[in-house]
Amino acid sequence: MSKLVLKGLGKSFGKTPAVQDVSLSIAQGEFVSLLGPSGCGKTTTLRMIAGFMRPTTGTIAVNGVVLSSPEHSQPPEKRGMSMIFQSYAIWPNMTVGENVAFGLKLRKMPGSELKRRVDKILEVVQLAHLRDRYPAELSGGQQQRVALARSIVIEPDVLLLDEPLSNLDANLREEMRSEIRRLHDEFKITTVYVTHDQAEAMVTSDRIVVMNHGRIEQVDDPVSLYNRPQSRFVAGFIGRTNFLEGRVHGGTIVFPGFTAAAGLFPGAADLAGNVTFSVRPQNVALHHAMPADTSNGWILTGQIVERSYLGEYWDYVVQPDNSDIRLRAAAPPLDIHDIGTRVWAEIDPRRIAHIPGPRG
């Protein structure tokens, strides 16, 4: 049995739909992220799961028991869930230890068991030495750990996180997303995580739910989502990509300014008519001369029209001959091409994705 099930979930504000026909099953101990741009419905979905909003349509069930429907919505405090907000919402007048113990005291847990649980979770989140500090004396990352500890210590059925790292700087966000995943691996609490940051979702999640205009675009594990996007929106939102649009003509794909052998693409048998491919920049290799072996790649010639040095790689933009396409390529730091240089760009058709249909 699934731990958390959303079935046909929808929410409208007046005549404006914010969430439409969202259906999702989350297994016990699974970490699932709701990912998408601002206004896509991910936070509204989370707030319905938490019980802060009643759905307009559909149901929410935990352990087979319906908690929310248009007719009835169980209040948040009776759902056995914990929620972490963007602002952390820890009590400024309580110490770290008191904040973490707060939920256990509300549940009237015996003192010895309460102390054992608090001691354990403070060790796990590496805050035992700060037990008697107040929130104002902590860094942003330490405050976030307090919020995590307070939510996990009560052993909720479902843990909900609403963009919990958005107030942290880039380096601290990177550290904390790994910390969140580490804590999940230790406690195996069913988790729903809302974010607009692709890297956060990729690092923390077992599966990612990509949302757009209140609907689910695709649900998949991070690797599949990145390498096999099922819509143009997903391909463009998850990481950087180039879109190549062409038309199949016999055994050839005709792109603006160049042609390519259709048979080199693994799914060539399913290609017909107008086609769109997602080509990640790291799958475009640049050469100063025609490669000796061109049997496995799509080759086009052009000029470097832009470049940026980003430390770990060069970000190049190639303008193919006789074409208005601008093809972005990522190259190692020592692979240097000046603006205006003529290059041969090689695309590996085994590492690109065909985007089905006109969605997005």
Residue 214: name the closest of 18, 23, 36, 48 by CA. Answer: 18
Strands 274-279 and 242-249: antiparallel
The fourth-level CATH superfamily of domain 4-231 is: P-loop containing nucleotide triphosphate hydrolases (3.40.50.300)
- Cβ atoms of residues 297 and 331 within 8 Å: no
Q: Which position has the token pair 């799914």? A: 267
pLDDT greater than 60 at residue 305: yes
pLDDT greater than 60 at residue 130: yes
The pair of structure tokens assigned to 192 is 């729903």
- Cβ atoms of residues 360 and 217 within 8 Å: yes
Give the containing element (helix H, strand E) for 200: helix 198-204
Secondary structure (3-state) at 155: coil
- Cβ atoms of residues 262 and 248 within 8 Å: yes
Q: What is the pLDDT of residue 290?
A: 93
Encode pLDDT of 153-164 as tens digits: 999 999 999 998
Q: What is the pLDDT of residue 360?
A: 39
- Cβ atoms of residues 97 and 131 within 8 Å: yes
Q: What is the pLDDT of residue 358?
A: 57
Q: Write down the domain spans for the chain.
A: 4-231, 240-354
Residue 335: name the closest of 359, 358, 309 by CA. Answer: 309
Pick the more confident residue, 267 or 57. Answer: 57
Encode pLDDT of 234-245 as tens digits: 999 999 999 999
What is the rounded distance in angstroms from the CA atom of residue 114 to the CA atom of residue 310? 49
Mean pLDDT of the chain: 93
Pick the more confident residue, 168 or 74. Answer: 74
Confidence band of 359 (pLDDT split at 50, 70, 90) = very low
Instruction: Report the Cα 227 to chain-centroid distance in Å.
Output: 14
Q: Which position has the token pair 């989140």? A: 125
Distances (CA, A) of 196 to 149, 200, 274, 323: 23, 8, 31, 34
Encode pLDDT of 54-100 as tens digits: 999 999 999 999 999 999 999 999 999 999 887 778 889 999 999 99
Altogether, the residues listed in the chain come to a count of 360
Pick the more confident residue, 358 or 275. Answer: 275
Secondary structure (3-state) at 237: helix
Q: Please give the average per-residue pLDDT across 309-317, as a whole number.
A: 96
The pair of structure tokens assigned to 308 is 């940026």
Half-sphere exposure of 37 (CA within 13 A, CB side): 8
Q: How much of the chain exceeds pLDDT 70, in percent?
A: 99
Q: How much of the chain exceeds pLDDT 90, in percent?
A: 81
Angle at 179 between CA 174 and CA 180, to 5 degrees: 100
What is the CATH topology of the domain spanning 240-354? OB fold (Dihydrolipoamide Acetyltransferase, E2P) (2.40.50)
pLDDT greater than 90 at residue 292: no
